[in-house]
Amino acid sequence: MVRASIKMMISSSKRNEMLEILSPIAERARFEPGCISCRLYQGAEVKNLILLEEFWRDEEALERHLQSEDYRKVLLVVEMAVEPPEIRFDAIAQSTGFETIEKARRFPQIGERS
> Tens of pLDDT along 53-67?
999 999 999 999 999
Domain for residue 13, yes or no? yes
- How many distinct structural domains can be found in the chain? 1
Please give the pLDDT value at position 113: 56
**Residue at 113 is within a domain:** no
Q: What CATH number is given to the structural domain containing 96?
A: 3.30.70.100
Q: Which residues form the domain of 53?
A: 2-106
Residue 63 located in a structural domain:
yes
Query: Cα–Cα distance between 108 and 43 in angstroms, integer?
Result: 37
In a domain, 50, yes or no: yes
pLDDT in tens, 64-114: 999 999 999 999 999 999 999 999 999 999 989 999 888 888 876 666 655
